[in-house]
Amino acid sequence: SSSSSSAMVKVIRVHELGGPEVLKWEEVEIGEPKEGEIRVKNKAIGVNFIDVYFRKGVYNAPLPFTPGMEAVGVVTAVGPGLTGRKVGNVVAYAGNPMGSYAEEQILPASVAVPVPSSIDFSVAAAVMLKGMTAQVLLRRVFKVERGHTVLILAAAGGVGSLLCQWANALGATVIGTVSNEEKAAQAAQDGCHHVIIYTKEDFEAKVHEITSGKGVNVVYDSVGKDTFQKSLACLASRGYMVNFGQSSGRPDPIPLSDLAAKSLFLTRPSLMHYTSTRDELLESAGEVFANVASGVLRIRVNHTYPLSEAARAHADLEARKTSGSIVLFPDN
């Protein structure tokens, strides 16, 4: 590479935990990629609720840190010992290492996947982490099939929008919960057969009404504390409780007897444990990109911000003002 090892790039950094205001726009030095690494100039960066957890300290990272778990960009330098990686390649990644809220970053080549040229930067940044999460939840954690009834909380959210579309395409009856009318309209467009506005109606009662008292085969609950008990109560006998996030806070512990009451399954999956090998990563990303290309998934990039204004994106996400995906754009 021709760039010197002392190149400066702009990044968002967190020096102390707290509200959106702790996201600072700073210049840092970026070096050359080492053995097995690549340097990527980011073109679009996905915002995820996990970025909020790290900023607040719900999940822990050593300070100071640059948040961000996904981006798509162009390779600007290739470290020693790598074959098949070239300057100019378009790649995307989702998951560890953290640090995508940056104009340019260094990554292990093993986490980066090639992006098909039919998929543009903003769509790739919107769909990598959220799409692979949907793939894992619907196809591997619990295998959704024709005839199943599924309940999806936060159905208009980034992950929620994809879960609804994909579960519908798999032939399930889809029930979704959202906070307002606008989000309800989006969820219906995304293939939710029944949308419940939980601020107006009790979602547990409504699910029992919709399923004639039988309950649902699986609940995908990313809200956590506020909804966990009601989600359990929505399940049919031998149903699957999948808690995969906690946007309202960590759920309270439950006694095993709560599961015994209906022979329920309970799991708390994390994307990284399902994409830890290169084969699993490529398979998961490949299935997501194929569903984007075929039109099964329509990607809603409903909110975009300059990278320097990441704080505004976080404030909106936490205030439940957003739907679909949020993407940050560096100036470059």
Nearer to ligand NDP, 48 or 66 (CB): 48
Which stretch in 22-30, 106-114, 277-285, 316-324 sits in contact with ligand NDP by CB under 6 A? 316-324
177, β-bridge pairs: 196
* 223 near ligand NDP, rule: CB under 6 A: yes
Q: CA torsion 109→113→116→121, rounded to 10°?
A: -80
Least distance (Å) between residue 286 CB and ligand NDP: 18
Least distance (Å) between residue 294 CB and ligand NDP: 22
Least distance (Å) between residue 46 CB and ligand NDP: 8
Nearer to ligand NDP, 39 or 206 (CB): 206
Least distance (Å) between residue 245 CB and ligand NDP: 2
| Dihedral of alpha carbons 246, 250, 256, 257, sign | negative
Q: Which of 89, 110, 248, 302 binds ligand NDP (CB under 6 A)?
A: 248
Which stretch in 59-67, 164-172, 231-239, 268-276 sits in contact with ligand NDP by CB under 6 A? 268-276
Q: Round to whole Å and give the CA distance between 165 and 151.
A: 13
Distances (CA, A) of 134 to 1, 43, 55, 199, 287: 37, 23, 24, 25, 10
Please, which of residues 93-132 interact with ligand NDP by CB under 6 A? Answer: 129-130
* 322 near ligand NDP, rule: CB under 6 A: yes
* 240 near ligand NDP, rule: CB under 6 A: no
Query: Which of 195, 246, 240 lies closest to 223, judged by CA?
Result: 246
Least distance (Å) between residue 277 CB and ligand NDP: 16
Binding pattern to ligand NDP, positions 130-159, x when CB under 6 A? x--x--------------------x-xxxx
* 271 near ligand NDP, rule: CB under 6 A: yes
Nearer to ligand NDP, 110 or 270 (CB): 270
Distances (CA, A) of 321 to 47, 222, 283: 14, 17, 33
DSSP 267-305: E---HHHHS-SHHHHHHHHHHHHHHHHHTSS---EEEEE
Find tokens 């936060």 and name the residue.
154
Please, which of residues 41-60 interact with ligand NDP by CB under 6 A? Answer: 48-50
Please, which of residues 166-205 interact with ligand NDP by CB under 6 A? Answer: 178-179, 183
* 36 near ligand NDP, rule: CB under 6 A: no
Query: For residue 196, how far is the Cα from the chain centroid?
Result: 22
Find tokens 């208009």 and name the residue.
156
Query: Which of 295, 274, 276 lies closest to 111, judged by CA?
Result: 276
Query: Which of 28, 35, 119, 124 lies closest to 77, judged by CA?
Result: 35
- By CB under 6 A, name the binding residues for ligand NDP: 48-50, 129-130, 133, 154, 156-160, 178-179, 183, 222-223, 226, 244-248, 269-271, 317-318, 320, 322
